[in-house]
Amino acid sequence: MFETLTGRLNQLFIQLRRRGKLSEADVDAAMREVRLALLEADVHYSVVKDFIGRVRARAIGAEVSKALNPGQQVIKIVDQELVVTLGEPTELNLSGEKPHVIILVGLQGSGKTTTAGKLASYLRSRGERIFLVAGDPYRPAAVEQLQTLGRQLNTMVYFEAGIKPPELLNRAFQKARNGGFTVIIMDTAGRSQLDEVLMDELQAISRNVPTAEVLLVVDAMIGQEALHVAEGFRDSIPLTGIILTKMDGDSRGGAAISIRSVTGVPIKFIGTGEKLDALEAFQPDRLASRLLGMGDMLGLIEKTEAAFDEKQVHKQAERLAKREFNLEDLVEMLRSSKKMGPMSQMIDMFPGDMGRAVRNISPEEMDHSTKRTEAIINSMTPTERRNPDILDASRRRRIARGAGLEVQDVNRLVKQFHEMQKLFKTLQKTGGRGLSRLFG
């Protein structure tokens, strides 16, 4: 979403790093570029004005003039002030008596129902017992959509036809409490625009039972309109947080930077894809780092830990040490890496020069290469995967036909695998130094 903004800022930062000293004129020129980049990214003009004012005041002060690397210090200030603009990270309020009630509100098309499933998946992975409530009886198939998500998650979905949403939540609360559930997530009806009927119903729902969170789901791709939507809901119901969906889209994304400053309501989650695990707790410092081309290594490590089974990693490391690593192990690693999400999201997390180098290869090219490798290995027999040295010309032609590829593709994979083996042998000769980093 922020690819254009990140690219423009990176070009500016490269120029700043090359300067041994920065005059006030240099700072003003840099601030003009930052201002233009933010405005083009659809950041609200008042937010841009305040942001540039804070950065400039610090950039022409003593902390830059006395710095060994003034350009790097300005970049650091931009990073810090961007984090301030994005707001402090705010966790869900799950304190007090259970079950905790979370109500999702928003306009039609913002992704409330899908977000209800994602939030259920997120909280269940943290040990909560989830009770989903289908509180949108008006949109065709809304109830069925949530029930489908519930089946995928193996999670309870409650709905009673003919019952108004406020009473539905009241009944759900009693059932959840009696059933030992810890969190209720209620999907509510949306409208194509803000209106009194929608707000009256949402007010009645939130008054009916003790509510822990009222979260506004906003489509990040609608730009400046997202700010007006958030302000409209904030002025009518007691919002406690915002979830920005479709943050993996190709719009300019300025709403994500503006919405906290304009509304005063904290962003709590961002949706980064269509799958049920594509929901991230909002971390302003990490988003700022990615915006400025510094990557997000902590986020990358967390995704890696979630995707790879620790026992399997240790097993593969032991097999490497014994020189038993084969193509079956390689394809298992490729399958695990898919769980980390789309390659485009992974690339955004690589920092600095590493990120720029990887970005020269398109995500589509990387994904295609991975699929091609998996297809070749899947076309082999178990014996061939365990012992690639037996792959003569006849076997390679058969494997290529089975994978729908050329023999050269099979030859290339086998060559790459043998090069990997040589690398592992070199690491072993050095006492295994590097293996822990490779698999950690």
Q: Who contacts 334 (Cβ-Cβ below 8 Å, separation ≥6)?
A: 370, 373, 374
The set of residues, in sequence order, having a beta carbon less than 8 Å from that of 272 and lying 6+ positions away, is 247, 248, 278, 279, 280, 341, 345
pLDDT (tens place) for every residue of the chain, 440 residues total:
567 777 777 777 777 777 777 788 888 888 888 888 888 888 888 999 999 999 888 888 766 666 557 777 788 888 888 888 888 888 899 988 999 999 999 988 888 999 999 999 999 999 999 999 999 888 878 899 999 999 999 999 999 988 999 999 999 999 999 999 999 999 998 877 777 888 888 888 888 788 999 999 998 887 778 888 888 889 888 899 999 888 766 556 677 788 888 888 999 998 888 888 889 898 888 777 767 765 444 444 455 555 455 565 566 556 655 556 678 777 777 766 666 555 555 555 555 544 544 445 555 666 677 788 889 988 999 899 888 889 999 999 999 999 999 999 999 888 888 877 776 666 556 554 444 444 43
Closest CA to 206 of 175, 178, 176, 236: 236
Domains of the chain: 3-86 (1.20.120.140), 100-294 (3.40.50.300), 299-439 (1.10.260.30)
CA distance 237 to 315: 53
Asked whether 142 and 126 are in contact (CB, 8 A), the reply is no
pTM of the entire predicted model: 0.66
Alpha-carbon gap, residue 397 to 376, rounded angstroms: 11
